[in-house]
Structure 1
Amino acid sequence: MPSQPPLLTLPPADGPPPPGSRTVTTDDGVDLHVEVDEAPAGEAALTVVLSHGFTARLAEWQVQREALRGRARLVLWDQRGHGRSGWTPLTKATIDRTGRDLGQVLDAVAPTGPVVLAGHSMGGMSILALARQRPELFGTRVVGAFMLATSAGGLVGTGLVGFLVTLGRRLGLLPLYLWLLQRLAPSLERRRRRGTFLGRRAIRRLLFGRDDADPRSVRMVQQLLEETPLPVTMAFYATFLDHDETDALPVLGRVPVTVVTATHDRLTPAAHGRVIAERIGAGAELVEVPGAGHSVNLTRAAVVDRAFLDLLDRVEGGLREAG
């Protein structure tokens, strides 16, 4: 098994917001928590905006945050209903909406200068939604993209839960499902059990790969993912059935892109990353990480960091040529 450096302890989600924190209020009234690491004056022309994955929070980028600090201005944010961001109406728990949120974070915190967007899992889907909604940003303000363990579509639809959600949508029952979730949310949270052995087993199977799990890492990821309220998790699940942003991939083709996949990722299988790279074309570089699972940014940090820094080298080289 490849040796890995010990994982960092992730900062807690409670307590006072850390220095550099800001609030961006969306056009539908949800307060999004944003953290900014300013680069030393004159040392970084780029801003990197990092979007986390489903049921996580911005702290999942902690390892990459350390690697990139000083190389670029960093903007990290908690997607609606996650981390320190505000509760979302469950009817707005969609990838379409998180794409709009990403655009509003970009407008508020990085209104000028070149930007590289980075997304893990659902964060990558938010980038694709933004590319569909506002293609004029790509190749102008957005000059690069880092797509980590994500998918452009066709991710969910099998199994009992997928069948039930699909059936509910066909019967017009999805609004009722989301309304009931909203009503039952306090009760569901009171009765929820966190930190269980069965939960750990599920995390180990779904978030880790063939040879990248150890008990400490599994517990840390379990704690991170179980922070998100269960109703938010259940509401967002429905959007993955609809998620299809393959038509947005040519928009990403306007800028350098790095796609990182993990060979044993059970949530966003490596084949989805390959499709993204193939559809983008010559501007995409594909990095496959053997033996790793969905939490590849934590368990194979050195590989992911190197791929990220290489992307920034490509972006900066292109900016110098254009300038």
Structure 2
Amino acid sequence: MSPANRGLIGLGVGLAAAGAATAAGIAAGRVSKERHARLSVLAPAGAYAHTPDRELVVVADDGVPLHVEIDEPEPSAAAGPGEPADKPTVVFSHGFCLSLESWVLQRKALVRNGYRVVTWDQRGHGRSGRGSEASCDIDQLGRDLSRVIEETTPSGQLVLIGHSMGGMTMMALAGEHPELVRDRVVATAFVATSAGGAQLVSLGFGQYFGKLVGRFGPGVLDRLSARPGLVRTALRAGRDIEEFLVERWSFASPVPPAAVRLTGDMIFGTPLDVMADFLPTFDRHDKRHALVHFHGVEVLVLNGVHDVLTPPDHSEEIVRLVPGAEHVVIEEAGHIIMLEHPEVLNEQFEALIDRGMRAAAEGVKVARKPRVRRTVTDLAKRRKVARARRGEGRA
């Protein structure tokens, strides 16, 4: 494509963004007052704050430093009657344009219930190093996860949980290290992710426009990253606009403003050129062949009904290719389910781990289980939101 045509596309994107920003600003103004005045009671002060027991740097095989945090189980959460004394370590991998902070509510819950938890920032995200453009690749992320496990949990049972790009990372790990999954992993959760073979970079705009985003998006983001002043000017249009856009692509039900702020900080804290470097790997992503290595492992697939980035049909291939996998679809949920419906995810993860530990201890043939698909409605959250909207002082 000629530079002139690229310029026209860039101009069109800019004009569209300006129009969207104007419309978003109007809509944001309408919702902001209600959210800040009432929905703040959905999250108590400090709900998203967390101090890990240990922080460390794990060096990837190409020299990139990866930020890792470890939470040790609370001493009071000793194993109860009939529970194994040594519970598995839970390793969380976050999604594209997020960070390990996205798992804050899950790691707190698991630590309270006696689990050791490992979280890490994928390269180019959060506090991890960046690496080269060529290293922004799902296979490299799988190797990074392998190094994290090697350094933090060289032995013992594991539970792997990944959201979006994090789930793809786990598939890449299994493809290169099938023995690790076979010998040590007792349970796995794939949250809002895809095994590939589908148009991934659509951003909720549909297949045709999604292809344009996948083709031209990296170039647009690269040019924007070279003009940080322009980006800052756009963001100065107001935080309400930013938060409105975050809610549009992240959530499908009311959430406290602190959750929107946390999500926005993670997304807009990801460098634009890192976003550009990663976009091509999603269109190349196809790890369906790696799913065979999860046969015999307790597998849970989780989706939000209204996820515009990776809707439930993107995950159905995982369920089809892994015998015994369970598929749970959450009503009124978008892409960032772990912050939108944390209690539901915490319950699902606890049940998954219990099933996995029991299957491992009793030699249960997981692959012989019938496939299960369930739709879950977060009734407890509905009640909280209703009370908040009535102006009651408690969530």
TM-score over 0.5 for the pair:
yes
CA contact (8 A) 1:150 1:272 kept: yes
Counterpart of 2:135 in structure 1 is 92
Q: One-letter code of the match for 1:253? A: H
Counterpart of 1:156 in structure 2 is 201
Distance 1:185 1:142, change over 3 A: farther
Do structure 1's residue 219 and structure 2's residue 261 form an aligned pair?
A: yes
User: Unpaired segments of 5 or more residues in structure 2?
Assistant: 1-38, 80-84, 365-395
TM-score (norm 1): 0.85
Counterpart of 1:187 in structure 2 is 226
SS in 1 for 2:349: helix
Distance 1:101 1:255, change over 3 A: same
- How many pairs align? 305
CA contact (8 A) 2:92 2:120 kept: yes
Q: One-letter code of the match for 1:156? A: V
1:25 aligns with one of 56, 59, 71: 59
Counterpart of 1:117 in structure 2 is 160
Across the aligned residues of Structure 1 and Structure 2, the Cα RMSD in angstroms comes to: 2.8
Identity of aligned residues (%): 38
SS in 2 for 1:106: helix
Counterpart of 2:327 in structure 1 is 286
Distance 1:298 1:313, change over 3 A: same
Distance 1:318 1:53, change over 3 A: same
Do structure 1's residue 106 and structure 2's residue 144 form an aligned pair?
A: no
SS in 2 for 1:281: coil
User: Unpaired segments of 5 or more residues in structure 1?
Assistant: 169-173
Cα displacement (A) at 1:322: 4.2
Q: One-letter code of the match for 1:54? A: F
SS in 2 for 1:264: coil
SS in 2 for 1:267: coil
Counterpart of 1:10 in structure 2 is 48
Return the alpha-carbon distance in structure 2 between the equivalents of residues 196 and 239 of structure 1: 31
Q: How does 1:1-323 map to 2 (within 5 A)?
A: 5-6=42-43, 9-11=47-49, 19-39=53-73, 40=75, 43-69=85-111, 70-153=113-196, 154=198, 155-156=200-201, 158-160=207-209, 162-163=211-212, 165-166=214-215, 181=222, 187-189=226-228, 191-193=230-232, 194=235, 196-209=239-252, 211-213=253-255, 215-282=257-324, 284-322=325-363
- Who wins on radius of gyration, i.e. which is larger? 2
CA shift digits 1:55-112 (9 cap, x unpaired): 1110100010111004221110000011111122122111111111011111111110
SS in 2 for 1:140: helix
Distance 1:134 1:290, change over 3 A: same
TM-score (norm 2): 0.70
Distance 1:222 1:119, change over 3 A: same
Return the alpha-carbon distance in structure 1 between the equivalents of residues 100 and 137 of structure 2: 18
Cα displacement (A) at 1:231: 0.8
CA shift digits 1:109-158 (9 cap, x unpaired): 11100111110111011001111121121220222111111111112364
SS in 2 for 1:294: coil
SS in 1 for 2:90: strand
Range with greater deviation from structure 2 (243-252 or 195-204): 195-204
Cα displacement (A) at 1:50: 0.4
Return the alpha-carbon distance in structure 1 between the equivalents of residues 224 and 49 of structure 2: 26
Cα displacement (A) at 1:9: 4.3
Counterpart of 1:171 in structure 2 is none
Cα displacement (A) at 1:44: 3.6
Cα displacement (A) at 1:10: 3.2
Distance 1:19 1:252, change over 3 A: same
